[in-house]
Amino acid sequence: GQQVMQIPQYQHVQEGEDFTTYCNSSTTLSNIQWYKQRPGGHPVFLIQLVKSGEVKKQKRLTFQFGEAKKNSSLHITATQTTDVGTYFCTIMNRDDKIIFGKGTRLHILP
CB of 37 to another protein, least distance (A): 9
Q: Which is nearer to another protein, 8 or 16 (CB)?
A: 8
CB of 65 to another protein, least distance (A): 12
Q: Distance (Å, rounded) from C-alpha 86 to C-alpha 101?
A: 11
Among 12, 15, 38, 50, binds another protein (CB under 8 A): 50
Other CB atoms within 10 Å distance of the CB of residue 60 = 14
Among 26, 39, 81, 98, binds another protein (CB under 8 A): 98
Q: Distance (Å, rounded) from C-alpha 3 to C-alpha 74?
A: 18
Q: Which is nearer to another protein, 33 or 64 (CB)?
A: 33
Q: Distance (Å, rounded) from C-alpha 110 to C-alpha 108?
A: 6
Decide: is 97 part of the binding site for another protein (CB under 8 A): yes
Q: What is the DSSP string of 49-91?
A: E-STT-EEEETTEEEEE-TTSSEEEEEESS--GGG-EEEEEEE
Site residues (vs another protein, CB under 8 A):
1, 6, 9, 30-31, 33, 35, 41-45, 48, 50, 88, 92, 97-103
